[in-house]
Amino acid sequence: MPWLAPRLAALIVAMSQVRVRFAPSPTGFFHIGSARTALFNWLYARHTGGTFILRIEDTDQARDSAEFLRLIYDSLSWLGLNWDEGPNPHGEGERGDYGPYRQSQRGAIYQRYLQQLQDAGRAYKKDGAIWFKQLGDRYTVFDEHRQKEVEKVKRGPVVINDLIRGRVERAEDEDFVIVRSDGHPVFHFVNVVDDIEMKVSHIIRGEDHLSNTSKHVCLYEGFGVTPPAFAHIPLILKSPEMGQGKMSKRDKGALVEEYQQRFFLPPALVNYLSLLGWNPGDDREKMTLDEIVRLFDLPGVNQSNAKFDGKKLAHMNMLYLLELPSEKFVASAKEYFAGQPTGATVLANETYFADVMMLAQPKIKSIDELAAYTGYFFTDEFLIDEKVRAKVMGKGEPKQRLVELIAALPTLDFSDDGAIEAGIKTLAESKSLGFGDYQAVARLAVSGTNAGPSITSIFRLLGKERTLSRLARFAQAS
RNA sequence: GCCCCUAUCGUCUAGCGGCUAGGACAGCGGCUUCUCAAGCCGUUAACCGGGGUUCGAUUCCCCGUGGGGGCACCA
């Protein structure tokens, strides 16, 4: 029947419409693990042309806080993980047809679903709480672990068809609480109700939820609803230096906020995170976001947990820093220094600041190294690295070289790096020496260290006068 | 204790019955060089153990062991 085709096609599109959600609770700092879960959901939505929903699970009045809620919006926005439905990022209002998107405002919906369960005889009251009722013959056993009698129900195992793990069977043979005696519905209940109501098609979450999922499947069945597809992604574990177990909010480097404050580049963090538990199937590592979106798919996600490696993240950040347009680099650097104690001084001269920053860009791994790396450009009161001093002063005749350099400096052409280099080389040649014989001691005198941009650039930016006074001061002191 | 997931270099991983087990980070060595980075070249380093299945197992199955998670009127 040809006339059916368009309707059928539309139906299939509607049925295959991917809707995923990220559902954090504002009870703590936003950490790397949450960011990765959000990212995988976001990637899957973007890959499939589906919808990414942000739902706030703020039902724990004791622990919820407005700051943590703010942090969720900020962190997701900073990472670039925009959501199609959910509260607006600035906190006022929301968008989407399936709201409210904060559980604290969905009480009426939960009541309706609870009623449905009660009407169906699948919920009952006991000890002031409301329990979900499993179907089947009952018997009691003594649970050694919990040290009490528990009532069990004879029923087959719950089957979870997981897109990443395959078929998982789990016994779920006890009734469980769905509404606490204080009247608040528990996580399992509201989570399932919301996912049904919001028409979530794929639940992508951490593997730590895998054992909850059997409860959830029971609830779907209780509501007479086919469960969505599940995809339990591996967890992020501590790196060997951090210890054992899954990464927790207390671990160093575990908070998204930390990378934000350190001015890491969001695309670098996103790229790194995408590679934790997933890969494009070949050797590609540094990928554009578009590329990741195009290549990402659930069956490609690994089944085993991954350990967090700050060094590799730092390397990724460097890669992105290297290719950042210099105006953007300077802009970020400016923002960074605005929050530094030396900020006012450093930012006083915009052109000079930009020149220094552009010198530093190809040399650093992250923007927060900038203060230490460029300190001597903005103050004469920099520290001399004693180890470097010992090394430099112990080789050849640095004092003599310094004296020669000071003598030659007034007539040295400072117009550009090439001129400075040529000048020093001429001096070196006149003494039958090399550029390197002057470089090390000059660098030490002028910057206090052995790491930095080319000495000619340092001279040029410092200017002849300041260069001379630093060289002279150092010569006098040593 | 019970249940579930999982297992390739130190770390992230490729491999989907036959490979000199590949790449990346880290490490090490070298080149380059004005220092330090970067870059380039090279190098160290892995299939957890035992049984099967098979002509043949890193790959499939089982059992150990290791790692992880979960067993609440938390989410």
Q: How far apart are the first and last CA of chain A?
A: 96
Which of helix, strand or coil describes residue A149? strand
Which of helix, strand or coil describes residue A46? helix
Could you tell me the distance in Å between the CA of residue A104 and the C1' of nucleotide B60?
Answer: 49
Could you tell me the distance in Å between the CA of residue A63 and the C1' of nucleotide B26?
Answer: 39
Q: How much is the average pLDDT of A218-241?
A: 94
Say what the ipTM of the complex is.
0.95
pLDDT confidence tier of residue A249, bands split at 50, 70 and 90: confident
What is the greatest pairwise CA distance in chain A? 101
Which of A 128-157 have CB under 7 A of nucleic chain B?
128-129, 144-146
pLDDT for A158 equals: 93
> Which residue has the closest alpha carbon to B72 C1'?
A177
pLDDT confidence tier of residue A248, bands split at 50, 70 and 90: confident
> Which residue has the closest alpha carbon to B5 C1'?
A207
Q: Residue A201 phi/psi, 5° resolution?
A: -100, -30
The C-alpha atoms of residue A46 and residue A33 are separated, in whole angstroms, by: 20
Could you tell me the distance in Å between the CA of residue A116 and the C1' of nucleotide B40?
Answer: 69
Which of A 174-203 have CB under 7 A of nucleic chain B?
176-177, 180-182, 184, 186-188
Task: Give the model confidence (pLDDT) of A382-431 as tens digits.
Answer: 999 999 999 999 888 999 999 999 999 999 999 999 999 999 999 999 99
Burial class (CB in 10 A: 0-12, 13-18, 19+), A427: buried
Name residue, tokens 């030490």.
Answer: A444
pLDDT for A7 equals: 45
In A277-427, where do the E strands start and end? Answer: 306-307
Which of A 283-312 have CB under 7 A of nucleic chain B?
283, 285, 302-307, 309, 311-312
Q: Give yes or no for residue A2 having a pLDDT over 50.
A: no
Are A164 and A305 contacting, i.e. CB atoms less than 8 angstroms apart? no
Sign of CA dihedral A169, A173, A178, A182: negative
The C-alpha atoms of residue A64 and residue A132 are separated, in whole angstroms, by: 26
Kindly give, in sequence order, each residue whose CB lies less than 8 Å from that of residue A307, ignoring residues fewer than 6 positions away. Answer: A236, A237, A238, A239, A240
pLDDT for A141 equals: 86
Could you tell me the distance in Å between the CA of residue A274 and the C1' of nucleotide B46?
Answer: 24
Q: Give yes or no for residue A8 having a pLDDT over 80.
A: no
> Which residue has the closest alpha carbon to B73 C1'?
A180
Q: Residue A85 phi/psi, 5° resolution?
A: -135, 145
Distances (CA, A) of A95 to A10, A227, A431, A474: 24, 25, 75, 64
pLDDT for A144 equals: 75
Report the DSSP beta bridge partners of residue A140. Answer: A151
pLDDT for A15 equals: 55
Q: Give yes or no for residue A143 having a pLDDT over 90.
A: no
The C-alpha atoms of residue A242 and residue A224 are separated, in whole angstroms, by: 45
Q: Can you read off the two tokens belonging to residue A308?
A: 């967090």
Are A298 and A164 contacting, i.e. CB atoms less than 8 angstroms apart? yes
Percent of chain A with pLDDT over 70: 97
Peptide bond into A100 cis (omega under 30): yes
Q: Give yes or no for residue A1 having a pLDDT over 50.
A: no
Distances (CA, A) of A70 to A28, A88, A254, A342: 11, 11, 18, 29
Kindly give, in sequence order, each residue whose CB lies less than 8 Å from that of residue A270, ignoring residues fewer than 6 positions away. Answer: A39, A79, A80, A289, A292
pLDDT confidence tier of residue A3, bands split at 50, 70 and 90: very low
Strand B–CB A208 distance below 7 A: yes
pLDDT for A203 equals: 97
Q: Give yes or no for residue A330 having a pLDDT over 80.
A: yes
The question of whether A307 is a catalytic residue gets the answer: no
Could you tell me the distance in Å between the CA of residue A453 and the C1' of nucleotide B15?
Answer: 43
Closest nucleotide to A285's CA, by C1' atom? B24
Question: Among A125, A126, A249, A328, which one carries the catalytic annotation?
Answer: A249
Within 13 Å, how many C-alpha atoms sit on residue A55's CB side? 32
pLDDT for A10 equals: 46
Which of A 320-379 have CB under 7 A of nucleic chain B?
322, 362-365
Count other C-beta atoms under 10 Å from residue A346's C-beta: 25
Kindly give, in sequence order, each residue whose CB lies less than 8 Å from that of residue A215, ignoring residues fewer than 6 positions away. Answer: A132, A172, A176, A188
Give the angle A50-A54-A58 at the CA atoms, nearest 5°: 155
pLDDT confidence tier of residue A9, bands split at 50, 70 and 90: very low
Task: Give the model confidence (pLDDT) of A341-355 as tens digits.
Answer: 999 999 999 999 999
Could you tell me the distance in Å between the CA of residue A222 and the C1' of nucleotide B48?
Answer: 43
Task: Give the model confidence (pLDDT) of A30-78 as tens digits.
Answer: 999 999 999 999 999 999 999 999 999 998 877 888 999 999 999 999 9
Could you tell me the distance in Å between the CA of residue A80 and the C1' of nucleotide B15?
Answer: 33
Among A12-16, A127-131, A170-174, which is the least confidently predicted range? A12-16
Could you tell me the distance in Å between the CA of residue A20 and the C1' of nucleotide B71?
Answer: 28
Q: Give yes or no for residue A123 having a pLDDT over 50.
A: yes
Strand B–CB A119 distance below 7 A: no
List bases, strand B, within 7 Å of protein CB: 1-8, 10-15, 22-26, 34-39, 67-75
Task: Give me the amino acid identity at A353.
Answer: F
Closest nucleotide to A245's CA, by C1' atom? B68
Closest CA to A155 of A169, A142, A144: A169
Strand B–CB A315 distance below 7 A: yes
Q: Give yes or no for residue A13 having a pLDDT over 60.
A: no
Q: Give yes or no for residue A5 having a pLDDT over 70.
A: no
Peptide bond into A266 cis (omega under 30): no
Kindly give, in sequence order, each residue whose CB lies less than 8 Å from that of residue A96, ignoring residues fewer than 6 positions away. Answer: A53, A84, A85, A86
